[in-house]
Structure 1
Amino acid sequence: MQFLHKPAVVSAAFDDPNLIAQAGLVPVMRLAERCGLPRLVAEKVKLTGAPNGAGAAADAKVAGIVAGMVAGADSIDDLDVLRHGAMPTVFDGIRAPSTLGTFLRAFTHGHALQLHAVHRRFLAELAAHTPLLPGCGEKAFIDVDSTHKRVYGRAKQGAEYGRFKGIRTLHPLLATICTPNARPVIAAVRMRRGKAADSRGAPKFVAEALTTAAEAGCTGLRVLRADSQFYNAGVIAACRRNGARFSITTGMNPSIKRAVHAIPDRAGQQISYPTAVPDPVTGDLVSDAEVAEIPDYTAFASRKKSERVTARLIVRRVRDLAKPATVGAQGELFPVWRYHPFLTDQPAPTLQAEREHRHHAVVEQVIADSKAGAFAHLPSGHFHANAAWLTLWAIAHNLLRATGALTSVFHTKATTATLRATLVHVPARIARSARRITLHLPHNWPWQHAWAHLFETVHDPPQPV
């Protein structure tokens, strides 16, 4: 591509009041209204006693913050992206960033819990009106993980030196829902101080995530997947109280080590990874990974009888290439293995259960997506304002995923960055005639058919399923 005109011919002026830079916000926020986001906020978020009227019109302020996050805002100042061109003609109630910042700083712990209730109910509405979680009536996976978000400056409430030496962080919890055919959506989030233990508050958080999954239509088999920091009796008890199964990495504690080393060498089933190396002679995929199972392993044996858990211990072992095997005259004698055990009570066969457990890593994609979007910064020095910001990001994430699910197969599996680039960041010029507003979008936009389908769908929404 080459520049066709001489530099002297080109000029620029920000003087057109009829342009919109993010025309995709029109169908996206229309979907949010159809699913009741403003109504839910008005019903559940009551900022009574907030100074200077910060709690007034909470529904409009929450919608404004969510719209800004959908457009890519990652700080309070970035929310000013909504105040340009013809945006006030299309949307009502747009607030200045300073007003939205005051609104967030008025939050307390109780108000943050109210916003959590909005998030849970809004996810259920999105799942009812869009194909957000296909197949959730048969099987759904709830993934729980924690992450550290680095912050700068000593004014951030709750920021502490935690896992990483010399780095001040906050330590939020995150739970996602996915199915074998759907990308993950966020079931629950919780902001915590930097030094909080990984499993702090995990049983209650897991119970909330499982309840949210059921409200979102996950009425079939629900499997909670988590890393070893959530391997405790409280988390498993929360799963069983809520009628869910679990698949949790155990780590190599002394009891697990004894059980693992008691497995016969020939008991393992060979597995092949997609990136395995083909054998140059036979062409078969060569892999040193093996999976074995102990059908009745009793975890937490030192606890009282009601807290002990008997389930399947599945162990994957992989050659440890960092530790060369002992080699003698007869060749390799003692290969060195790395063991990856997890405890589960889900009914799938051994190899399928192991493969589905490894898919728990999908939650890391959501965490990476958050830090590339609205969670790139924690914009306030107030802890509860940042907690509200985290919950609003979860609402915006789910809204974008529902938008993609309504649009096309490509957008169903696209990342949120792709959804913004193809559906939201579309420029448009508005024209008004006979009390009607028409959006004139770019000719030959590559995703115009998908965008038009989305626009028509949200203005004539399908019946709830």
Structure 2
Amino acid sequence: MQVSHTSAAVSAAFDDPNLIAYAGLVPVVAGMSAGADSIDDLNVLRHGAMPDVFAGIRAPSTLGTFLRSFTHGHALQLHAVHRRFLGALAAHTPLLPGADAMAFIDVDSTHKRVYGRTKQGAEYGRFKGIRTLHPLLATVCTPGSRPVIAGVRMRRGKAADSRGAPKFVSEALATAVEAGCTGTRILRADSQFYNAGVIAACRRAGAHFSITTGMNPSIKRAVHSIPDEEWQQISYPTAVPDPATGELISDAEVAEIPQYTAFSSRKKAERVTARLIVRRVRDLAKPAVAGEQGELFPLWRYHPFFTDNPAETLQAEREHRHHAVVEQVIADSKASALAHLPSGHFHANAAWLTLWAMTYNLLRATGALTSAFHAKATTATLRTHLVQIPARIARSARRITLHLPHNWPWQHAWTHLFDTAHDPPGPA
């Protein structure tokens, strides 16, 4: 692509009061939806004819003052708003198709690097020499949908991975029910959430669990007691990364111990007996040297998880491995609103985190209302196709008409979204 004619024939001027850069914000309203990743970036809403289309646009300094006024109690109130908002989105859009049959709740934590020594709660945690905050989040998805966010919590940088996990899991499971997940619910989590409190929370909520265990001495003894003939071959249609090395693997073996008792050192009421499913992959860290004798006994790396998922062994293993979808949400956050935690105040950042979660769910609902393609598109794609569209406004008979670009590739999708948002359907 090149500039028409000569560069001397082209000029630029910021002088049209009837233009808006984000016409997609008419059906989808939020500064974060437009891509704002800091308080100052919320200025993207203050240009051209935006005040004619939207009411109540505030300056970034006003929004910063508002966020800094948050206390712990206000953050809890915002969490409650987030839960009700997700429930309303799920009731009026096809956000979680099939939730009445099967839903997965994934819990994970992440570290977000921050800069500046005055940020409250920022500490040297897992990464040497790097100050972080330590958010915790839970997502909900079905076999036919992308994940949405059921809950978030901001924590100090040194907070243990599982700190507050049982209560957080209870809230996430309750939120999933409010969002229409009335069928089988399975909580999936990594080994940092392998504790009696998390599993007890699942059982109180009537949900199943599928949690990576790691290789503690009891698990090792159980794994090495599995007879060789019980290992089943499994092949992955697309290669998956090995959790230990990051290498891509396409073949593995899976076996199961049907009755494994976890937390046997605790009192009897806290012990849990369920399935221990183990995946093993060949350890290729020390490949054979040419000319030397091949290995007499293959070396394996083991990846066990503890579950009461009623599915057959290979299906349960595949479903557990899909826990990685929560990592996609974390990556999305760091490429958008959580590229920065914008305030020096801890509770302001906690509010920012929750507002991002609400915005993320709003964009997911936007995609679900638009088309089958957009229902599974990434957040960046939704912004490009549906939000970041320039428009010129025209006024006539006290009405505003948006004039959008001719031949916009996603015109029909945007029009369908606009019509649906202005004539919303009843509860799904």
- TM-score normalised to the size of structure 1? 0.88
Per-residue CA deviations over 1:372-412 (Å, capped at 9, x if unaligned) read 00010010000000000000000000000000000011101
Match of 1:50 in 2: none
Give 1:288 shift.
Answer: 4.6
Aligned twin of 1:343: 306
2:110 aligns with one of 137, 141, 147: 147
Superimposed CA distance per residue, residues 311-333 of structure 1 (whole angstroms, 9 cap, x where no aligned partner): 00000000010034799998541
Question: Displacement, 1:3?
Answer: 1.9
Q: Which residue of 2 aligns with 1:27?
A: 27
Contact 1:324–1:335 (8 Å) recurs in 2: no
Query: Structure 2 CA distance, aligned partners of 1:331 and 1:407?
Result: 57
Deviation at 1:13, TM superposition (A): 0.8
Once the two structures are overlaid, the 10-residue window that deviates more, 365-374 or 316-325, is: 316-325
Distance 1:428 1:308, change over 3 A: same
Note the aligned Cα RMSD (angstroms): 1.6
In structure 2, give the amino acid aligned to 1:5.
H
Q: Read off the aligned partner of 1:28 and give its amino acid letter.
A: V
Residue in 1 aligned with 2:405? 442
Residue in 1 aligned with 2:279?
Answer: 316
AA matched with 1:164: F
2:288–2:294 CA contact under 8 A, matched in 1: no
* In 1: Cα distance, 2:37 partner to 2:400 partner: 30
Distance 1:231 1:387 in 2: 26
Residue aligning to 1:100: 63
Structure 2 CA distance for partners of 1:14 and 1:287, relative to 1, 3 Å? closer
**CA distance 1:325–1:220, change in 2 (3 Å):** farther
The amino acid that maps onto 1:381 is G
* TM-aligned CA deviation for residue 153 of structure 1: 1.0
Q: CA deviation at 1:461?
A: 1.1
Matched-pair contact (CA < 8 Å) for 2:210–2:308:
yes
Letter in 2 for 1:438: T
Aligned twin of 1:463: 426
Counterpart-to-counterpart distance in 2, 1:292 and 1:401 = 37
CA distance in 2, matches of 1:367, 1:339: 26
The verdict on how the C-alpha distance between 1:392 and 1:455 changes in structure 2, with shifts beyond 3 A counting, is same
- Say whether residues 1:88 and 2:67 are aligned partners: no
Return the offset for 1:146: 0.2
- Residues 353-377 of structure 1: per-residue CA shift (max 9 Å, x gap): 0000000001000000000000100
Deviations 1:267-315 (A, max 9, x none): 01100112469xxxxxxxx965100000010000010011000000000
Residue identity in the other structure for 1:303 = R
Q: What does residue 433 of structure 1 align with?
A: 396
Cross-structure match for 1:159: 122
Describe the shift of the 1:103–1:318 C-alpha distance in structure 2 as closer, same or farther (beyond 3 A). Answer: same
Whichever residue aligns with residue 16 of structure 1, its letter is D
Give the equivalent residue in structure 2 for 1:61. none
Partner of 1:37: none
Q: Where do residues 223-302 of structure 1 align in structure 2 (5 Å cutoff)?
A: 223-275=186-238, 288-302=251-265
Unaligned runs of 5+ in 1: 30-66, 278-285
1:6 matches 2:6: yes
Contact 1:326–1:332 at 8 Å: present in 2 too? Answer: no
Classify the secondary structure of the residue corresponding to 1:95. coil
The equivalent residue for 2:72 is 109
Superposed displacement of residue 74, structure 1: 0.4
Question: Over residues 87-125 of structure 1, what are the superposed CA-to-partner deviations in whole Å (9 max), with x where a residue is unaligned?
Answer: 100111110000000000000000000000000000000
Counterpart in the other structure of 1:222: 185
| Residue 170 of structure 2 is aligned to residue 207 of structure 1 | yes
How many pairs does the alignment contain?
Answer: 420
Once residues 323 and 187 of structure 1 are traced to their aligned partners in structure 2, the CA distance between those partners, rounded to angstroms, is 42
Structure 1 runs of 4+ off > 6 angstroms?
325-330
The secondary structure found in structure 1 opposite 2:360 is helix
Give yes or no for contact 1:429–1:439 (8 Å, CA) kept in 2: yes
Aligned pairs for 1:309-458 within 5 A: 309-324=272-287, 331-458=294-421
- Mapped to 2, the partners of 1:149 and 1:240 lie a distance apart of 31
Amino acid of the structure 1 residue aligned with 2:372: V
Q: Secondary structure at the match of 2:235?
A: coil
**Maintained 8 Å contact 2:236/2:251:** no
Q: In the TM superposition, what is the alpha-carbon distance from 1:6 to its structure 2 partner?
A: 1.5
Give yes or no for contact 2:188–2:323 (8 Å, CA) kept in 1.
yes
Partners of 1:323 and 1:352 lie apart in 2 by 31
Secondary structure, in 3 states, of the residue corresponding to 1:140? Answer: strand
Letter in structure 1 aligned against 2:22: Q
Corresponding residue to 1:191 among 154, 169, 181: 154
Percent identity at matched positions?
A: 85
Q: 1:162·1:169 contact (CA, 8 Å) conserved in 2?
A: yes
Q: Deviations over 1:147-197 (max 9, x none)?
A: 000001101000000000000000010100011000000000000000000
Q: Cα deviations across residues 18-74 of structure 1 (Å, max 9, x unaligned)?
A: 101000000113xxxxxxxxxxxxxxxxxxxxxxxxxxxxxxxxxxxxx11000000
Counterpart residue identity of residue 185, structure 2: R
**CA displacement, residues 176-222 of structure 1 (integer Å, 9 cap, x when unaligned):** 00110000000000000000000000000000000000000000000
Task: Provide structure 2 residue ranges, at least 5 long, that are not aligned to the other structure.
Answer: 241-248
* Alignment partners' CA distance in 2, 1:242 and 1:79: 39
Q: Is the 8 A contact 2:237 2:250 kept in 1?
A: no
